[in-house]
A and B are shown apart, each in its own frame.
Chain A
């Protein structure tokens, strides 16, 4: 464990909690892409299958349980509790365009052709594109509430911090996880455009971020 990975996990946790609290307190999921949240729940489900088979550390186990619980709770709020506020018309991204290539790629590129490893690889590739429906929805509505942009900021920051973690681990322990690094770089690049808007628009204190 190093400070970059810890900061990354905290940033990830903060993002998930920001979104969950926003939906719960406003009792609405307007402007939130349910599809992205479903994809994130799928990412955690396929990645944390080793939760009960491999014990790595208390931190590892606790964080996996927390991420699974919060992501399913978010999906529950969107599709069940506050489903009448779900904006399905604007959440129209065709997720099959993400799932098919990700499934295909995880069968082509993996460390071992075992169910656990192929599913882990699937979760890594899926996480890189899971935010697409949300970013698409924001471009479609042309705006995002500032709290949603804070969610996206911390979500994008988490994988950027993981990249720093991989650089650190490469230089200190020679560790290099090619699949996670390549996918993590792609994932972070998808946020760059948003990061620019976030810094130039939202940080100046505007309530909504309207895209050009």
Chain B
């Protein structure tokens, strides 16, 4: 989840 939240940013 944490990684997802981070990598949804460009």
Interface of A is mostly: helix
* C-alpha gap A120/B9 in the complex (Å): 12
- Dominant SS among interface residues on chain B: helix
Rounded to whole Å, the gap between the CB of A86 and the closest CB of chain B is 28
| Docked pose: A162 CA to B5 CA in angstroms | 14
How far is B4's CA from A50's CA once the two chains are assembled, in angstroms? 11
Contact across chains for B7 and A180 when beta carbons are under 8 A apart: no
Instruction: Check A60 against B10 for contact (C-beta < 8 Å).
Output: yes
- Would you call A180 and B3 a contact (CB within 8 A)? no
For chain B, which range describes its interface: under 10, 10 to 19, 20 to 34, or 35 or more residues? under 10
* Nearest Cβ on chain B to A114's Cβ, whole angstroms: 10
Closest to B5 in A: A175
In the complex, A182 has a CB within 8 A of chain B: no
B6: A residues at CB distance < 8 A? 111, 177, 180
CA–CA, A67 and B9, complex, Å: 13
Q: Which of A22-80 contact B (CB under 8 A)?
A: 50, 54, 56-57, 60, 63-64, 67
Chain A residues with CB under 8 Å of chain B are 5, 9, 12, 50, 54, 56-57, 60, 63-64, 67, 111, 120, 162, 165, 173, 175, 177, 180
Show 25 A/B contacts (Cβ-Cβ < 8 Å), sorted by A.
A5-B9, A9-B10, A12-B10, A54-B4, A54-B7, A56-B4, A56-B7, A56-B8, A57-B8, A60-B8, A60-B10, A63-B10, A64-B10, A67-B10, A111-B3, A111-B6, A120-B7, A162-B9, A165-B9, A175-B5, A177-B5, A177-B6, A177-B9, A180-B6, A180-B9
Across the A-B interface, give the 3 residue pairs with the lowest CB-CB distance, nearest first. A56-B8, A177-B6, A63-B10
